[in-house]
Amino acid sequence: MAYLALYRAFRPKTLNEVVRQEHIVTVLKNQIATDRIGHAYLFCGPRGTGKTSIAKIFANAVNCEKPIDGSPCGKCAACKALADPSNLDISEIDAASNNGVDEMRDLREKVQYPPVAGRYKVYIIDEVHMLSTGAFNALLKTLEEPPAHAVFILATTESAKIPATILSRCMRFDFKLIPQADLEEWLKHVLAAIGKEYDKEAVSAIARAGAGSVRDMLSIADTCVSYASGKLTYEAVTSVLGSADFASVAAFCEATLQGEAGLAFERAENFLSAGKGVGTLVKDVMHFFNSCAVAKTCRNAKNILALPDDSYTEVARIASGTDGHRLLRATEIFADVEQTLKYSASPRVLFETAVLKASMPETDYNIEALLGRIAALEKRLEEGVFVKNDGGRVEVNTPAPVKEEETEETEYAEDYIDVPPEMDAPPEEYSYAPAAVKEVPKEEPYVAPKAAETVKPMRSAPSGDAKATFGLFLRSLRKTSKNGVLFTMCMDLDSEYDGDLFVLYTQSETIFNSLNKPDRYAFLKDAFEAIGIGEGGFAVRLKGKPLDDFNKKVEEIKETFHGVKIEIK
């Protein structure tokens, strides 16, 4: 006997052998058990999900004399007669090649003749959406009121192309894609039946490549079995699929998400020079990004992804180290590449351009790119980094790792920041160039200085000149607080005079709350007193959120009773 492909050799013979589709199998079993057979059925869904297989099983089952759990017994006279290829009680019509009016007219004439071996004459019309408009019209009346012995089963992958007049006359069943876990179980059954040894990772890779289709998975498995003379390994599967190995794809995606453009481009070149197809490579990258998204957002991500332990650990590590906006942006970029590859004459250039765009968000004004850059800056600022302005370009320096016995906060020496001595007319640009960073113990809780130790005023702040006052405040804060984190937060504040009150503004609620903590607020108070502004002469406010009535009254009381200590409880 000639060799049969795996998807043909292991086609289900009974409804119990069908992989998933329980919602359809249960209905058909109950109809057979209660003898309530409909006259027209519509099976629609993706390819390779069991439409034609279930149609053939059901066609035999409705004619079987003693069906077993909704499936044909295969032993009765009707089953044996229907097994003969010359029997015409079950007719399978390919609508792709028989889509004209004449074919449907011929069917309408033949359907009047009763069945020979069984109770019903069953017509299975595959790819029914390929029928012409005239053919649908010719089928319509027969489908509405067929003879009592006729059953029509229409199968299609594109139900949207079927006229509503046909849909309304059919009992519709929507087939679903098969979950990967079920595909793996079925593939293990098939490989065990043919006596082929396999690795778990190889089975997972084949099932994943099947993308929910049993037939696609078994076709790939057929090729892989022929390729691997011995045990079926993960390396053999990746060679057959033409995809890159998992570790290489993970390293490439990590470099892309971390913004290491040079490294990402180099690894992309390694893939392409090794002969990997651009289309397959894009699918591998998108699949990895999707795995990162699942690992980042889902609690049971490990069960959903069904990856080997070491592979899932790598995916989770990369996902936790990247920002969601960057991940979304990179996925969208490569998804666009997949759509445009079919129309491109230079797929390699298209892919390399996508690599550079995904790994260089600073060159893109897309909203996701900007949000990703902001999130990265916020993360580094939370870790206590120092931002410097070097010719208009912002760079971020991450401090050295903190040892266990040391603390998280870092103090910047007095010479680290060069602030011009005259702040009445400050220059437009400052050069904040940290010379060195030293780590010191965590700042101690604030203790009010004794009278003899009070810092002498440096210079009185000019009333009404917010810029000059802000410059003097920064110099005073640098000398009085010795706290680099506090100084860094204050550098980005806005300032203005509200009458005689000097106001510091921030748009960040986190910075606003931090500056109003008792210990840090005390540092601000000392710095302002050093330039001649008392406690009631300054305020820290959140920009864009006006003061409520309570805070307004508190400010009025402070101005009225200047010099009196007021506590809010």
DSSP letters spanning 191-225: HHHHT--B-HHHHHHHHHHHTT-HHHHHHHHHHHH
No. of helices (H) and no. of strands (E), the chain: 24, 12
Q: Is 259 in the same domain as 145? A: no
pLDDT tens digits, residue range 19-37?
A: 989 999 999 999 999 999 9
Average pLDDT taken over every residue of the chain: 80
What pLDDT, on a 0 to 100 scale, did the predictor assign at position 310?
Answer: 84
CA distance linking residue 305 with residue 256, whole number of Å: 21
* 546: its two tokens: 């006006």
Q: Is 157 in the same domain as 52? A: yes
Q: Is 35 in the same domain as 153? A: yes
Helices (H), ranges, 228-345: 234-241, 246-257, 261-273, 278-297, 301-305, 309-320, 324-340
Last residue of some domain: 241, 261, 293? Answer: 241
Q: Is 202 in the same domain as 324? A: no
CA distance linking residue 569 with residue 425, whole number of Å: 41
The CATH number given to whatever domain includes residue 42 is 3.40.50.300
pLDDT tens digits, residue range 277-288?
A: 888 889 889 989
Last residue of some domain: 116, 151, 174? Answer: 174
- pLDDT band at 417, cuts 50/70/90? very low
Reply yes or no on whether the pLDDT at 44 is more than 90: yes
Between 119 and 481, name the one with better pLDDT.
Answer: 119
Do residues 158 and 93 touch, judged by C-beta distance below 8 A? Answer: no
Q: Is 227 in the same domain as 268? A: no
Q: Is the residue at 31 inside a domain?
A: yes
Task: Find the range with the poorest average confidence among 145-149, 216-220, 250-254, 271-275.
Answer: 271-275
What pLDDT, on a 0 to 100 scale, did the predictor assign at position 438?
Answer: 44
What pLDDT, on a 0 to 100 scale, did the predictor assign at position 222?
Answer: 92
- Which of 361, 359, 407 is closest to 384 using CA atoms? 407
Phi, psi of 496 (to 5 degrees): -165, 165
Amino acid at 128: V
pLDDT tens digits, residue range 534-568?
A: 877 888 888 765 555 566 666 677 666 666 666 66
Query: Angle 540-545-549 (CA atoms, 0-180°, nearest 5)?
Result: 85
Q: Is 135 in the same domain as 88? A: yes
Reply yes or no on whether the pLDDT at 416 is more than 70: no
Reply yes or no on whether the pLDDT at 245 is more than 70: yes
Reply yes or no on whether the pLDDT at 420 is more than 90: no
CA neighbours closer than 13 Å in the CB half-sphere of residue 359: 23
Last residue of some domain: 241, 268, 288? Answer: 241
Domain span at residue 98?
6-174
Residue 141: CB atoms within 10 A of its CB come to 10
Q: Is 91 in the same domain as 207? A: no
Q: Is 222 in the same domain as 294? A: no
The CATH number given to whatever domain includes residue 194 is 1.10.8.60
β-bridge pairing 90-94 and 121-126: parallel
Reply yes or no on whether the pLDDT at 150 is more than 90: yes
Q: Is 157 in the same domain as 140? A: yes
What pLDDT, on a 0 to 100 scale, did the predictor assign at position 547?
Answer: 52
User: If residue 180 lies in a helix (H) or strand (E), which one and from where to where?
Assistant: helix 180-194
What pLDDT, on a 0 to 100 scale, did the predictor assign at position 500?
Answer: 79
Residue range 217-221: mean pLDDT, rounded: 93
What pLDDT, on a 0 to 100 scale, did the predictor assign at position 273?
Answer: 86
Q: Is the residue at 379 inside a domain?
A: no
* 419: its two tokens: 């602030």
Q: Is 160 in the same domain as 59? A: yes
Q: Is the residue at 533 inside a domain?
A: yes
The CATH number given to whatever domain includes residue 280 is 1.20.272.10
Q: How many domains does the chain have?
A: 4
Q: Is the residue at 381 inside a domain?
A: no
Q: Is 359 in the same domain as 500? A: no
Residue 472: CB atoms within 10 A of its CB come to 25
Q: Is the residue at 386 inside a domain?
A: no
What pLDDT, on a 0 to 100 scale, did the predictor assign at position 454?
Answer: 44
pLDDT tens digits, residue range 121-139?
A: 999 999 999 999 999 998 8
Residue range 438-453: mean pLDDT, rounded: 47
Q: Is 349 in the same domain as 487? A: no
- Which of 180, 221, 216 is closest to 202 using CA atoms? 221
